[in-house]
Amino acid sequence: MSEIRLYHSYRSPYSRLGLHKIARAGLDPELIPFTGPPGGVDFYDASTNALKMAYMRQDVPRMTMRMGLAVNPPNPFEVDLAPSYKASVAASAAGVGMAFALAVADARWGEGKNISDIDVLKQCAEAAGWQADAVEAAQTAVSVGKTMKRHREMIEEDKVFGVPFAVRDGSKYWGQDRIDLLVEDAKNAAA
């Protein structure tokens, strides 16, 4: 199967849905935490757009329940995502990236937990079959910093403007609803 890069963010409930779709399809993409759009590109966040937020309050529960997942909005909503992203990079390096990403996304959007809390991330690590102590080590690991720098360059190169956002063989797929098309294209290419 072709190489797939999947940009995701724990800030987005739609990113959570995309992660679950990819995992359910059995694909194993390179997971890249989305740390913001390329320089000079505006980011249109739902929390700053009342109409978009009103729509999301209607849409997120129906799409989440449609996938058979629990939905419980995070409290607090605004958190520092850096600890979760650093742990995600280390989890991917340890071979448990998808399991950890799903655990963190579910903790935030399914259980309403504060994923900037290291103890919550440790619980996610354990749920993913990973060492809880690795979460703290990831926060200052030089290798994690280098990988995150490379990921930032990839965001710029791929011109990523939102999540979930996947790239496969030069084709781009944005939004959880396009993950189905990505899965179909990847499976057709493998056949």
Q: Where are the domains of the chain?
A: 4-190
- This prediction's pTM: 0.93
What's the average model confidence in pLDDT over 86-113? 98
d(CA 91, CA 173): 24
Predicted confidence (pLDDT) at residue 32 exceeds the cutoff of 90: yes
Mean of pLDDT values over 122-150: 98
Contact 38, 62 (CB under 8 A): no
- Of 23, 125, 112, 20, the residue nearest 68 (C-alpha): 20
CATH number of 4-190: 3.40.30.10
Q: Please compute Rg for the chain using Cα positions.
A: 16
What is the predicted pLDDT for the residue at 2?
52
What is the mean pLDDT of the segment spanning 181-186?
93
Average pLDDT, the chain: 93
Please check the confidence at residue 1 and state whether its pLDDT lies above 70: no
